[in-house]
Amino acid sequence: MKIECLNLGVLKQASFSLNDFTIICGENNTGKTYAAYALYGFLKLWRQYLPVHKIKKHVDSVLQNGVTRVDVSRYVQKADSILDKGCVNYATGLSHIFASKSILFDDAIFQIKFEQSEFSIERAFQRKIATSNQETILLVDKEKNSNDLMISLLMEKSATDKFPKYLVNDFISNSINELLFKPLFPDPFIASAERTGAAIFRKELNFARNRLLEEMMKDGENIDPMNLLFKSYKDYPLPVKIDVEFTRNLQSVANEKSFITENYPELLIDFADILGGEYTIDKDDTIFFKPKGNFRKLDMDESSSSVRSLLDLGFYLRHKAKKGDLLLIDEPELNLHPRNQCRMARLLARLTNLGIKVFITTHSDYLLKELNTLIMLNGKEPHLKSIADREKYQASELLDASRISVYVAERALVRLEGNKRKSMCHTLTPAEIDEKFGIEVSSFDSVIDKMNNIQDEIIWAGE
């Protein structure tokens, strides 16, 4: 998956590819979060932005005959144009994703590209509309390796006249889009940089929700509940809104089990070691942190900033994670000691090897250097295994260099579309990654080198 951006916040022109592990690093105010939020927003909402197909003859056929057949192979041929239209529609809504003025995104372009060979309809597929008593009334079905999408209206002929045409059209159209694009778009989960605040103000968020419910129940008031809920969060970017909602609903989240909990509990033990304890939630929906070796439970405002910043990640790993997800974390190093930043890098590498795609923005030299180690230790030379054994690196943590992509958000010379000469602007520059030497990111090294040079001069210049 290749993403191209133009005039997206400070990013004048940039492109990046989504790998199994994708990193955007760089200085402050260089566009890292713009890229992450724009990608998250599309992956979260792509269904509502893809165009509705005009399939009147199929709608008429299913309403008249109770069945119709759609050859979906022809939609594969125009999948690129379908996706392009969806991206154009999405770009017009970027101001809502970022909770900013629309004028700031008037010239913004956001595009996602795939190779034609990536579009496939070989899988079996089924969707349905059912009544409240679970009786199927509209069914879309496709057998494996078939090109035919069969649509059946399972109700009495006398009732079909009352069945809305637009509902049938939208259902078939959405089924075509789902068949084409769902395998290509991972389900995203985001931990925004605002997650620490969301954790500590969780009680206040619940109180605000209850106040909204009270307003909706007032007699004689003509209140739209969805409008009220929208207004309560309208000043926050979509990723922050969803992060807040996830944190607010942890009690229901805690009723689920992730594939990690069921199959890889040792990873949760390692996470608890980074955390320094475990989260618990009581029947009154209060979140506590129980430090290791301590019988006392702490609530969130008594806990450290690192405990609060890891809250949503901890619940995601234990209760929501599934293979194929895209885990986006804005600054995973937030509030972590350098030692735990390195351990976080190893944890994220293990998640990648378990089948979860990881996308992070970071300022952490420790995190990148630890990922370097995981890449370099993945070689075949005999001495690498002895180093890994001595330093207690596990095979499940080692990374293949081809599975990781790193981009530096920076000002660089770029040839903008329609211009003959290059000009300086904010962009994303791919970093070199070598399986022997790891990731080369000069922006971190130059800062460290300068500090070392100054200190050397302080110590030795007077000698």
Length of the chain in terms of residues written: 463
**Runs of H (alpha helix) within 50-134:** 56-65, 73-77, 79-92, 94-98
Q: What does the alpha-carbon distance between residue 107 and residue 92 come to, in Å, rounded to a whole number?
A: 9
- The region that residue 335 occupies, defined by phi over 0 for left and psi between -120 and 50 for alpha, beta otherwise, is left
- pLDDT for 84 equals 96
Per-residue pLDDT of the chain (463 residues; tens, 9 = 90+): 999 999 999 999 999 999 999 999 988 899 999 999 999 999 999 999 999 998 899 988 888 888 999 999 999 999 999 999 999 999 999 999 999 998 999 999 999 999 999 999 999 999 998 877 888 888 999 999 999 999 998 877 656 666 788 888 999 999 999 999 999 999 999 999 888 777 766 666 654 555 455 555 555 455 555 454 445 455 789 998 898 889 888 889 999 999 999 999 999 999 999 999 999 988 888 889 999 887 788 988 888 999 999 999 999 999 999 999 999 999 999 999 999 999 999 999 999 999 999 999 999 999 999 999 999 999 888 899 999 999 999 999 999 999 999 999 999 988 877 777 888 999 999 999 988 888 887 667 777 888 888 888 788 876 6
Who contacts 144 (Cβ-Cβ below 8 Å, separation ≥6)? 122, 123, 124
Check residue 143 and report its DSSP letter: -
Q: Which two tokens stand for residue 87?
A: 């991206």
Who contacts 209 (Cβ-Cβ below 8 Å, separation ≥6)? 232, 248
CB–CB of 147/121 below 8 Å?
yes
Q: What does the alpha-carbon distance between residue 65 and residue 263 come to, in Å, rounded to a whole number?
A: 48
CB–CB of 330/361 below 8 Å?
yes
- pLDDT for 221 equals 52
Number of CB atoms found within 10 A of residue 131's CB: 9
Which of 201, 4, 5, 245 shows the shortest CA–CA distance to 107?
Answer: 5
Q: Long-range contacts of range 207-213, CB-CB < 8 Å, 24 or more positions apart?
A: 208/232, 209/248
- pLDDT for 461 equals 75
Q: Tell me the C-alpha to C-alpha distance, in Å, between residue 141 and each of 57, 71, 182.
A: 18, 12, 16
- pLDDT for 87 equals 97
Which of 119, 168, 112, 167 shows the shortest CA–CA distance to 147?
Answer: 119
User: Does residue 30 sit in helix, strand or coil?
Assistant: coil
CB–CB of 25/441 below 8 Å?
yes
CB–CB of 300/248 below 8 Å?
no
For tokens 């739209």, the residue is 224
Q: Tell me the C-alpha to C-alpha distance, in Å, between residue 212 and each of 131, 209, 266.
A: 31, 5, 42
Helix (H) or strand (E) holding 226: helix 225-233
Q: Read out DSSP for 413-448?
A: EE--TT-SS-EEEEEEEEPEEETTTEEE-HHHHHHH
Q: Read out DSSP for 300-350?
A: GGGS-HHHHHTHHHHHIIIII--TT-EEEEE-TTTT--HHHHHHHHHHHHH
- pLDDT for 224 equals 54
- pLDDT for 129 equals 85
User: Does residue 356 sit in helix, strand or coil?
Assistant: coil
Q: What does the alpha-carbon distance between residue 359 and residue 33 come to, in Å, rounded to a whole number?
A: 11
Which of 155, 181, 184, 185 shows the shortest CA–CA distance to 168?
Answer: 155
- pLDDT for 215 equals 55
**Cα three-residue angle 435-437-439, rounded to 5 degrees:** 85
> 113 pairs with which residues across the strands?
2
